[in-house]
Structure 1
Amino acid sequence: MIISASRRTDIPAFYAEWFINRIRAGSFMKVNPYNRKQIKKVSLAADHVDAIVFWSKNPRPILRYLPELLDKGYKSIMHYTLNDYPDALEPGVPSLSYRIDTFRRLADVLGPEHMVWRYDPIILSNQTDACYHLERFSHIAKELNGQTSRVVISFMDFYAKTKGRLARLETEKGYVLFDWLYPDQTEKLTDLVKGLSSIAQENGMSITTCSEQVNLEKYGIMHGACIDQAYIEKVLNHSLPVKKDKYQRAECGCAESIDMGSYDTCPFGCPYCYAVRSDKLVQANRKKHDPMSPYLTGE
């Protein structure tokens, strides 16, 4: 069994204490996000968990618990989303230098092979064009050289639930967002992906996409999977009795996992985030969080 912590919220950043309490207790209560009456107790016993896959923009709070996790025999992969956007796009994250330092500390504890750099989503706009991304990606890649061998990219999707927030970016902050699939962006996209691929290779990293239909293999960018069964088996040195996750998008190549998170609980405030419907819901759910509860929110 693979535990995902989490696609739905940032557990390492905001719920690290709750996570380690669940590890110590040996289980958590999983609630179906589309039918909250469907509840299941999930074992977190070390001999039941093949791997824990973390996802975070700021995993510094969970660093203090990683030695305990390792001592208990748990094995993990850390997906670390590391962009360098203006505050309007990522208003809640710490400084880039702080986050890079955190990446290095995590690599020291877990090992570079357990670290996956996520440069996503790639937001193309009048203020963050292809040149902007190439410059920022190059800077971060050089800082992470030797700290990871794997980088994952994806392009921003325009979800219905983010429509209002993205519209306010234009009216209030002056952002004009580009859909990278538009024909007039084709040449710019080609220059961008060729550059990203070259930079990654120069810094000893393989580069893949996440849940993208577009085929970029001719530029050295393969279709990838975040919960990549083959990669995890190689890093952890044991086979995983799992199948492809049928509940993810068709383009997603991830292996099946059980997610510990809940939607509408991440307070980072990123306007492009698919996991949050409104800041008010996040605030309400945060008030219902108890780090000692078997549920992430509520009772």
Structure 2
Amino acid sequence: MIINTGMRTDIPAFYSQWFMNRIQAGYVLVRNPYRPDWITRYELSPDVVDCIAFCTKNPEPMLKHLDRLKNYHQYWFVTITPYGRDIEPNVPPKEKVMQDFITLSDKLGTNCVGWRYDPIFIDSTYTLQRHISDFEQMCRTLSGHTNVCVISFIDLYEKVKRNFPQVRTVTIQERITIGKTFAEIGKRYGITIKACAEGTDLAPYGVDCAGCMTQQTFETAIGCNLTIPKKKPQRAECACVLGTDIGAYDTCGHLCRYCYANYNHANVRRNMKLHDPESPFLVGDLQEGEIIHQASQESWEDGQLSFF
């Protein structure tokens, strides 16, 4: 199975010590975000965890722990955008994140590290031309250290509209211009552009629209084939293998204005205060009368080498 750490929060950036404590303990407890009284225990043994998927804007706090994770296959997505502190107030400088990205790639290999340039929005500061210019500069730095860059355009969820009211939808023509131009730039630097949950509209312009965290992504990182149980995707346009997420909403301290995972800053501050690195939960602890449900887990590796 695949353990995902990044759909609800940024564990490497803010909770790396907690995560390593859970690796040491061999299990983690996770509350269902839509039914908080339903608690699941997941074993973290390499015998059943085929890959740990990380998504982060700041991998630096986890770099010192990589040797302790050598028994686990890993796949990392690192988000690097052109946005400043006006949009991503607590994300480190891009130059620092890119250097940490290169360190990750050097330690794990290019097949285990992907770059995310998303979500893309356009305004008077972050113009179409600025996106194109900054993207090429980043490609120049990251060339040879990853094979893929995933793009997506901002979705106007209710949380996003509330926290970022002036943002607008990216028009179809703007999407095509970005997709086509990014694909051309990426080709020059050996980086395939993939679209995340954007349908197939950009496929004619050289963008890979088959998904970003796909079975092939993990098989290439692991080096063998996987037999993954069929599971209905969360969104019809998503082809990704999302696995089991051990994070929690309203816990990401980056406080990015476009974030869909934080309801508001007050919730984040409260939950971060409730975080205990020694707890089996990311936030809080087991309450009296609550029942823990053991997850059914098994390895998906079929033992055959992958030739991707």
Q: TM-score, normalised by structure 2?
A: 0.89
Structure 1 residue aligned with 2:90: 92
Q: Does 1:298 align with 2:296?
A: no
Moved over 4 A (4+): none
Identity fraction in percent: 38
Per-residue CA deviations over 1:33-92 (Å, capped at 9, x if unaligned) read 00110001100011110101100000100011111101xx10000000011212211111
Alpha-carbon separation, structure 2, partners of 1:96 and 1:213: 29
Of 175, 197, 207, the residue aligned with 1:221 is 207
Of 89, 105, 108 in structure 1, the residue corresponding to residue 106 of structure 2 is 108
1:126 corresponding residue in structure 2:
124
Name the CA shift for 1:247/1:219 in 2 (closer, same or farther; >3 Å). Answer: closer
Corresponding residue number in structure 2 for 1:179: 169
* Aligned partner of 1:250 among 227, 236, 254: 236
CA distance in 2, matches of 1:293, 1:151: 35
SS of the aligned residue for 2:67 comes to helix
The offset of 1:214, in angstroms, is 4.7
CA distance in 1, matches of 2:113, 2:168: 30
Task: For 2:40 and 2:180, locate their aligned partners in 1 and report how far apart those are by CA, in whole Å.
Answer: 45
Equivalent residue for 1:166?
Answer: 164
Separation in structure 2 between the aligned mates of residue 98 and residue 63 of structure 1, nearest angstrom: 13
Q: Distance in 1 between matches of 2:230 and 2:126?
A: 34
Q: TM-score, normalised by structure 1?
A: 0.92
Tell me the equivalent position of 2:299.
none
Aligned residues: CA RMSD: 1.3
Q: 1:138 to 1:267 in 2, by over 3 A?
A: same
Q: Secondary structure of the residue that 1:97 maps to in structure 2?
A: helix
Contact 2:250 2:262 in 1 (8 A): yes
Q: Which runs of 5+ in 2 are unaligned?
A: 286-308
Structure 1 stretches lacking a partner, 5+ long: 171-176
Are residues 1:145 and 2:135 paired? no
How far apart in 1 are the matches of 2:10 and 2:123?
26
Once the 2 structures are TM-superposed, how far is the Cα of residue 191 of structure 1 from its aligned partner?
A: 2.3
Inter-partner Cα distance in structure 1 for 2:182 and 2:266: 37
- Give 1:244 shift: 4.8
Change (3 A) 1:135 1:210: same
1:110, 1:152 → 2: CA distance? Answer: 19
**Displacement of 1:145 after TM fit?**
0.5
Q: In the alignment, which residue of structure 2 is the partner of 1:61?
A: 61
Q: In structure 2, what is the Cα distance between the partners aligned to 1:93 and 1:125? A: 20
Q: Distance in 1 between matches of 2:173 and 2:215?
A: 34
Rate the CA distance shift 1:188–1:46 in 2: closer, same or farther, 3 A.
Answer: closer
Note the 1:15-54 alignment, pairs <5 A. 15-54=15-54
Tell me how many residue pairs correspond in the alignment. Answer: 285
Letter in 1 for 2:19: F
3-state SS of the aligned residue for 2:224?
coil
Check whether the contact 1:245–1:256 (CA below 8 A) recurs between aligned residues: no
Per the alignment, residue 232 of structure 1 pairs with: 218
Deviation at residue 237 of structure 1 after TM alignment: 1.3
Q: Which has the higher contact order (CA 8 A, sep 6+)?
A: 2
| Kept in 2: contact 1:130–1:189 (CA 8 A) | no
